[in-house]
Structure 1
Amino acid sequence: MVKIHSYSIDKKVYNLKCEVPPEELKSFRSYRGLEKLPVIDIINLNGKDYPMGYKVVTEDLKSLGLRRNSNIIAYSINEWCYLPKNKIKEGPDDWGGIWVARTLSNAKTLKKYYEKNHLKSARVFKAALDEILHFNSYRIKTNSIMMFEEIKW
């Protein structure tokens, strides 16, 4: 089951507090009457389904530090990275979770922005997610990710 805590559409934040079987995330919008809710992709790893996003990181696998984020996290490939419980906050705040792009297109846009404005190269990975603390049309906030496949173009 995937725990979902909140989401936002049309600049409004909604508390959700529910658990959804991963295989139902794509159809979640229709049977709950939430037509504007963005789709969250699913990935099957080692026989288990997880929500999936795209993580943009620096060349040395660290978080980008955008929005004046001083909490830089170092990631590893094929290993889960969990935030400590005391650093997790549900809802749309920038802090209190690990943010990932919801789609590959959003990840490409973020990568281009970072490389243009910070003059450093970045990498994009597919990432399995644990709990969904918040999501909107372009980002997903989670308590844990596992980056497992680099995307190059």
Structure 2
Amino acid sequence: MSALKQIVGAAIVDSLRSPTRLLVARRTKPEQYAGMWEFPGGKVEPGESCQEALLRELDEELGVEARLGAEVPGPLEQGWALNGTAAMRVWMAEVISGEPAPLQDHDELRWVELDAVALEALAWIPADRPIVEALLEAAAATAR
């Protein structure tokens, strides 16, 4: 089996040390995902590491500089399956400069309490739902 296209995403929290809120992004395209929520990020370009790609994508998509924390490990070597051709690795991150704004592919950003009730109330892109569950577990472990 050939490698899946590598995508990277950020679970942007208000604090890597003691996360209580998550920044979520609402997609505008493609049509089947318009209006659904996701982790911001994008494709890894040739010659980039996953972390370099994620920092670049956060600058391009949200206009922020971020610090990456721990990866939210997925079940695959390449992270979390998105579909039959792509997988996404996700890192926790916090903004270190800039004010997040929806610059590309999104029409709204929203800070949401980092708890199951608040996050499950959102219409997530289906492939991101298991990542939300893993993020909640990771955040709970950080709080201990």
The TM-score normalised by the length of structure 1 is 0.30
Q: Which has the higher strand share?
A: 1
TM-score of the pair, normalised by structure 2: 0.31
Point out which structure has higher relative CO (alpha carbons under 8 A, 6+ apart). Answer: 2
Structure with the larger helix share: 2
Q: Computing the radius of gyration over CA atoms, which structure comes out larger, 1 or 2?
A: 1
